[in-house]
Amino acid sequence: MKQLFFLLLAASLVACSSSVKISNAGAAPNADLAKYKTFDFYKLDASGDTVSKGFNERMDLLKSAIAGELTSRGYSQSSSKPDLLVNIGLQVEEKAQTRQTDWRTDGAYKYMGQRNYSWKSEEVLVGYYKEGSVTVHLVDAAANEMVWKGTAKDILPSKESKVPEVAKAGMKALFAKYPIVPKQ
């Protein structure tokens, strides 16, 4: 009985783990990421009606999460001639969640009578959600060449209080693909 309990507990922990999907993570050919010591972010100049409410605050959360990952790997942030420049690309899409109707749950008739009823399976709208993608490019500042890149994609939380947690988890998952491991 105890084994069944622990098996169910382990399965639920795996199911509740982060849904961050990492793609295109990797270093440029012949890139020596250990030679860099400092980093800074490209200056962001976004304005106008295409910039959503809270954009700057969310970018600051991402910058903080990225800076945390880089400093844990021995880099230090410096605005004076940094070795690496960090470029952040952000995309948010609103998507519709649907489900397929099923005869067993949605179409079983109790009484058909003398009419010829028909039933067909179809997509039913369940709700909407937002999916965010963050692409991080690390650029050699002197040569102006990209030395590492990676993309993290996840579903954005509907509660604002959960956004910092998701940003940190996303950057932690992304930088798990970084060739230099965090220092203890």
Domains of the chain, earliest start first: 20-102+122-175 (3.30.160.670)
- Alpha carbon of residue 4 to chain centroid: 33
Can you give the pTM of this predicted structure? 0.76
pLDDT tens sequence across 111-150: 555 666 666 778 888 899 999 999 999 999 999 999 999 9
Contacts of residue 146, defined as CB under 8 A and 6 or more positions apart, other chains included, come to: 28, 137, 138, 139, 140
Question: How far is Cα 59 from Cα 44, in angstroms, rounded to an integer?
Answer: 9
Dihedral angle over CA of 173, 177, 178, 180, nearest 10: 100
Question: How far is Cα 27 from Cα 87, in angstroms, rounded to an integer?
Answer: 15
Question: How far is Cα 20 from Cα 65, in angstroms, rounded to an integer?
Answer: 15
Q: Calculate the alpha carbon distances from 3 to 11, 13, 29, 145 in Å.
A: 12, 15, 48, 53
Which phi and psi angles does 175 have, rounded to 5°? -75, -5
Lowest mean pLDDT of 54-58, 68-72, 92-96, name the range: 54-58
Which phi and psi angles does 8 have, rounded to 5°? -65, -40
At 47, list the tokens.
Answer: 């304005």
pLDDT tens sequence across 99-118: 888 766 666 555 555 666 66
At 63, list the tokens.
Answer: 């910058």
Contacts of residue 44, defined as CB under 8 A and 6 or more positions apart, other chains included, come to: 56, 59, 88
